[in-house]
Amino acid sequence: MKHYFLFLFSLLSGITASASDTIPAGPFHYIDSIAAHAPDTLTPEPKYIAAYLKKYCETDMDRARAAYTWTATHIAYDVESYNAGRKTDQSCDRVLQRGLAVCQGFANVYQMLCTYMGLEAAVIHGFSKGYSYEEGDQFEGRKTNHAWNAVRVDGRWLLIDATWGSGFGRKVEGRMEGHRRFEPYWFDTDPYEFAFAHYSSDTQWLLLPARISLRQFEDMPRVRPTLFKLGFSGRVIYEQYMAGTLPDPLPTAYATRHRMRLVDFPLSGTLRAGSHADLTIVCDEDLKILAVAERGAHPVAFVHTGNVYRLSAPLMRGSLKIGIGVGKKLQPVLAYIVK
């Protein structure tokens, strides 16, 4: 395989620990490392950046990922312009010169890098439940508020949001405060999961078998990626919503750096006291996974066999939190209400 091991070794050996921690483990670690740490001295023109990335890629999936990671790690969200309500040039060339963009600029850069690497990519406009969204907001009759991409790889269209892949915003005293953090989740996101936060004006880009209306998107619960990352099925949640059988509320999920998959966990966020919980978690890390019935209660440990963690116990009224035991503290992963 054409992996430039010597180059990669010299590249990664010069990265500080904090920088390398931002590159996630997984099948794209090599490509992410190349793209995220591409030289800043590259000529700020898409064809030169694409040529640099392409020489380290073997497949179209590699190329699509390299374009995503480069865009998400080298372009920063233009917080100052957003807070000022100021419109700036979002063309690919101008964004590359400034290193700043809002969503349209991120989408333009991603599309152009893909084009120069021989991939077919589209810029998609629509509505999103992002930074400025508040529960109950309506989009009907309003201008679209977000832009993202689709890229064709091996005959399949992938959904991409490089803007959200670059970090996140927090509201501080009524203004956006930007935080840079590479987020792999928004590359090739499952369309069923993507649909809970994105609605394309051209419904073909929902990439779903049945096209939903804007009103249905408005009424959808805001299901955050933290729940999907734990293994809850976007398709199941989507289909239950469409059928009118989706539980309310859903479990509360918390962000975690640990890679784990929760198997057959209840989808309803409210459980019945006295019922029996049979819970299974698959995780390749050696962790202390605990269940806590309520504040002050003695935690119960999952039984660990290989990479499978299991717990079988009756539920007590109050709450149920699943988390990682660190010293005397519990880092929560998932929470239920028990009535």
pLDDT classification of 1: cutoffs 50, 70, 90: very low
40 half-sphere exposure, CB direction, 13 A CA radius: 5
Predicted local confidence at residue 335, as pLDDT = 96
Q: Among the listed ranges 13-22, 78-87, 183-192, 241-250, which one has the minimum average pLDDT value?
A: 13-22
Alpha-carbon torsion, ordered 227, 232, 233, 234, to 10 deg: -10
Give me the residue spans of the domains in the chain. 5-243, 252-338
What percent of the chain has pLDDT above 70?
93
Question: What is the distance between the alpha carbons of residues 49 and 59, in angstroms, rounded to a whole number?
Answer: 17
What are the residue ranges of helices labelled H in the chain? Answer: 5-13, 17-20, 29-36, 46-54, 60-74, 79-84, 92-98, 103-116, 162-165, 191-194, 214-219, 225-229, 234-243
Question: What is the distance between the alpha carbons of residues 203 and 235, in angstroms, rounded to a whole number?
Answer: 18
Predicted local confidence at residue 13, as pLDDT = 37
Residues whose CB falls within 8 Å of the CB of residue 20, separated by 6 or more in sequence, listed in order: 12, 33
Note the pLDDT tens digit of each residue in 121-177.
999 999 999 988 988 889 999 999 999 999 999 999 999 999 999 999 988 988 999
pLDDT for 4 beyond 70: no
pLDDT for 308 beyond 90: yes
> Which of 2.60.120, 2.60.40, 3.30.565, 3.40.91 would CATH assign to domain 252-338?
2.60.40
pLDDT for 71 beyond 80: yes
Compute the Cα dihedral for 260, 220, 249, 177 and give only its sign: positive
Predicted local confidence at residue 295, as pLDDT = 63
Q: Among the listed ranges 111-120, 132-141, 221-230, 232-241, which one has the minimum average pLDDT value?
A: 132-141
> 205-212: long-range contacts at Cβ-Cβ below 8 A with a sequence spacing of 24 or more?
205/122, 205/124, 205/126, 205/150, 205/159, 207/150, 207/157, 207/159, 208/238, 210/242, 212/242
Predicted local confidence at residue 226, as pLDDT = 97
Predicted local confidence at residue 125, as pLDDT = 98
Question: What is the distance between the alpha carbons of residues 69 and 34, in angstroms, rounded to a whole number?
Answer: 9
Strand 270-271, strand 329-338: pairing: parallel
Both tokens assigned to 309: 């963690």
pLDDT for 73 beyond 70: yes
Other CB atoms within a 10 A radius of the CB of residue 208 amount to 16
pTM: 0.91
Mean confidence (pLDDT) of the chain:
91
